[in-house]
């Protein structure tokens, strides 16, 4: 599990879904935040390439990672039908 404030580089696997502060190398853009999903890979930047960094700001699991949610819409629809 990543620690809040931990930094990652382009090409690394995302271990924790959440909000990440994006820090660009060449200051062509101010820092900004993005949502990243566990299991994917941190991308490079079209301007600063692999010099970009991602810093975990808020750990926020995807709704698909939470066991109490049934994200299968077909199952959900069948349970929400009104009783006859």
> Per-residue pLDDT tens for 21-76?
999 987 789 999 999 999 999 999 999 899 999 999 999 988 888 888 776 665 55
64: its two tokens: 């698909």
| Predicted local confidence at residue 72, as pLDDT | 63
Count other C-beta atoms under 10 Å from residue 33's C-beta: 14
For the chain, state the CA radius of gyration. Answer: 17
The 10 Å CB-count burial string (b at 16+, else e) for 44-82 is ebeebeeebbbbbeeeeeeeeeeeeeeeeeeeeeeeeee
pTM > 0.95: yes or no:
no
Strand duo 7-9 + 32-36: pairing:
unpaired
Whether the per-residue pLDDT at 78 is higher than 90: the answer is no
Quick one: which of 37, 39, 35, 38 has its CA closest to 22? 35
């Amino acid at each position: 599990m990543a620690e809040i404030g931990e930094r990652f580089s382009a090409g690394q696997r995302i271990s924790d879904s959440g909000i990440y502060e994006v820090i660009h190398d060449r200051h062509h853009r101010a820092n900004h935040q993005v949502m990243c999903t566990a299991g994917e890979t941190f991308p490079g930047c079209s301007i600063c390439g692999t010099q970009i960094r991602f810093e975990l700001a808020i750990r926020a699991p995807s709704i698909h990672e939470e066991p109490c949610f049934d994200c299968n819409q077909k199952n959900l629809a069948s349970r929400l039908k009104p009783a006859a």
